[in-house]
C-alpha cells in the first residue's frame, strides 16, 4: 500500500506545475525524468507479481489433495505468466521513450496506460477463476431429467448456453418438509 501511495504522489508531482503534464504551453515549467519513474514502477510491479506467483508453489504442492487439483491450481497461478508478459511489453514500450513531451512519447504513454489497465483486468480475471469453476460446470453439464421425462433420451451437450443459464436461475420442484416450494433465492451456485 505504501508503494502504491508513493508512486501516485511521485507521478502526480513529477512536473512543476502539475498542469504541465497535460499542457505543454506553460512557459518555464519542467518535469523530472518520467521515463525512469515509469521504469522503476513497472520493474517493482513485475518483481512483486513474480514473488506472489512463485511463493505459494512449494506450499501448494505439499498440500494433501489430488494431483489434478494441485495441477489446476498451479495453472491458475500460472495465468500470472500472461500478466507478466504484458508487464514485460510495457517495460519495453517505456524504455523506447526518448523525449517525454514529444507527441510520439504521448502515444507511448497512452499505450502504457492501456497495458497497465490490461494487467489489472487480467489480474482480476485470474483472481476470479476459482469461483468460475462451479458456474462453468453447470453451463456445460447436461440438464437434469424431470420425472415425466424419465423415458425420453437425455439432452445432448448441444443445448444452447442461454438455455443453460436460464436453467440455473429457475427454482427446483423439491419441497421442504413443511410442504412449501423452495424459492429461487434459496438456490446456490456451489455444490453441497
Alpha helices, DSSP H, located in the chain: 2-12, 34-54, 56-62, 67-95, 103-140, 161-168
Instruction: Examine residue 91 and state whether it is found in any structural domain, yes or no.
Output: yes
Domains: count for the chain: 2
Most confident of 46-60, 89-103, 134-148: 46-60
Asked which of 23-37, 49-63, 105-119, 175-189 is least confident by mean pLDDT, the reply is: 175-189
Integer Rg of the chain from CA: 26
**Could you tell me the three cell numbers for 162?**
442461454
Q: What is the mean pLDDT of residues 31-56?
A: 87
Residue 125: give the domain boundaries.
Answer: 33-140
Same domain, 132 and 38: yes
Instruction: Examine residue 93 and state whether it is found in any structural domain, yes or no.
Output: yes
pLDDT > 70 in the chain, percent: 72
Same domain, 97 and 5: no
Instruction: Examine residue 150 and state whether it is found in any structural domain, yes or no.
Output: no
Instruction: Examine residue 176 and state whether it is found in any structural domain, yes or no.
Output: no
Q: Does the predicted TM-score (pTM) go above 0.85?
A: no
Q: Which of 95, 124, 140 is the last residue of a domain?
A: 140
Same domain, 55 and 101: yes
Instruction: Examine residue 173 and state whether it is found in any structural domain, yes or no.
Output: no
70-124 pLDDT, tens digit per residue, is: 888 888 888 888 888 998 998 898 888 877 667 777 788 889 899 989 989 998 9
Higher-pLDDT residue of 86, 188: 86
pLDDT, position 117: 93
Same domain, 68 and 134: yes
Instruction: Examine residue 115 and state whether it is found in any structural domain, yes or no.
Output: yes
Same domain, 23 and 90: no
Amino acid at each position: 500500500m505504501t508503494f502504491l501511495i508513493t508512486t501516485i504522489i511521485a507521478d502526480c508531482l513529477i512536473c512543476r506545475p502539475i498542469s504541465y503534464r497535460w499542457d505543454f504551453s506553460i512557459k518555464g515549467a519542467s518535469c523530472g525524468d518520467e521515463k525512469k519513474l515509469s521504469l522503476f514502477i513497472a520493474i517493482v510491479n513485475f518483481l512483486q507479481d513474480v514473488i506472489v506467483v512463485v511463493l505459494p508453489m512449494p506450499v501448494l504442492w505439499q498440500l494433501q489433495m489430488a494431483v489434478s487439483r494441485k495441477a489446476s491450481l498451479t495453472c491458475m497461478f500460472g495465468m500470472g505468466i500472461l500478466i507478466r508478459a504484458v508487464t514485460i511489453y510495457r517495460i519495453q514500450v517505456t524504455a523506447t521513450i526518448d523525449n517525454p513531451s514529444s507527441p510520439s512519447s504521448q502515444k507511448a504513454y497512452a499505450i502504457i496506460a492501456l497495458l497497465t489497465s490490461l494487467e489489472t483486468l487480467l489480474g482480476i480475471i485470474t483472481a476470479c477463476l476459482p469461483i468460475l469453476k462451479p458456474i462453468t460446470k453447470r453451463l456445460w453439464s447436461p440438464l437434469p431429467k424431470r420425472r415425466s421425462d424419465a423415458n425420453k433420451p437425455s439432452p445432448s451437450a448441444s443445448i444452447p448456453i442461454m438455455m443453460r443459464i436460464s436453467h440455473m436461475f429457475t427454482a427446483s420442484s423439491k419441497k421442504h418438509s413443511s410442504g412449501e416450494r423452495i424459492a429461487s433465492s434459496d438456490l446456490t451456485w456451489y455444490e453441497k
